[in-house]
Amino acid sequence: MLVVTDFGHDPDDAIALAYLIEHGHIPQTICVTPGFDTQVEIITGFCSSYGIVPTILRCSSKEEKQYNPGKHRIFRIAAGAKIAHELPHFTDCLVIGPALNMADKIKCDRLFFQGGYSPNSINPLPKFNGIEEAQSFNPCGAKNDFNLLLDSDIPSKYYIGKNVCHGYTKQELKREWSPENKLVRQFFDKLSDDKAMHDVLAAKCMIDIKIGLWERAMPIWHGNKLSTIPTNKDIFTLIGLK
């Protein structure tokens, strides 16, 4: 498994990785976007707390300027991760951050991408009333790579729209799971119960695709906003949970 993540920004990346690891899905490689030194240090510390040493790949050599990982500093240790330059073929790839400079490097059987928008959600949320398209941080942060992944020959692609995952909060997650790892639990406990667990839901769908209701539809851009259109390709958009 490959995970592409902007770890150190939104807290749910850390919780999504914890969820994967504690359910026995340990990534062999983690691509950090953009790949600041501090990001590599905190994700190395996070993985060290679980006793795992995945290969780390930086999506970009962008310089670190006024980057503040906030509460993620709890994981920070001196970076000692192996840095990758090439990627093998993976069974699954989970993209929970902008896939900057990664589209031509990712080879996998199934791609799960958190981002995008699903206008056909079966449980519309009040905050999205009257909206048919929306901006989404991950795709907009690497728009060209998003388009290349969309058009790639990856056999199966699954998109988890923000208007569906905004309804999946920490409160919902706590009903079934909370981190066993003491350091991660300390981090988790500081998050408010109404925090949307976007990336955790994407991870859950990758572990068990049957939890979701999917339509054969692909994201389409309207300027810098996303909606979806029907497709005959193997591209599926999450419209709800069973």
Please give the span between the terminal C-alpha atoms of the chain, in angstroms, as a whole number: 25
- The vertex-6 CA angle with 94 and 83, nearest 5°, equals 85
Looking at residue 236, its pLDDT comes to: 96
Q: Is 50 within 8 Å of 30 (Cβ atoms)? A: no
Taking CA 206 as the corner, what is the angle to CA 203 and CA 207, rounded to the nearest 5 degrees?
A: 90
Q: Please tell me the predicted confidence (pLDDT) of residue 116.
A: 82
pLDDT at 87: 82
Give me the pLDDT at residue 142, please: 93
- Encoding tokens for residue 101? 């400079």
Angle 72-73-78 from CA coordinates, rounded to 5°: 120
Helix (H), strand (E) at residue 186 = helix 182-189
User: What sign has the CA pseudo-torsion 5, 6, 10, 14?
Assistant: positive
77-123 per-position pLDDT tens digit: 765 555 556 789 999 999 999 999 899 889 999 999 998 888 888 88
Tell me which DSSP letter residue 6 carries. Answer: -
Segments of the chain scoring below 70 in pLDDT: 78-85
Q: What is the pLDDT of residue 78?
A: 65
Q: Residue 182: its pLDDT value, please?
A: 96
User: What are the structure tokens assigned to 225, written together?
Assistant: 């906003």
Q: What structural domains does the chain harbor?
A: 2-241 (3.90.245.10)
Looking at residue 104, its amino acid is D
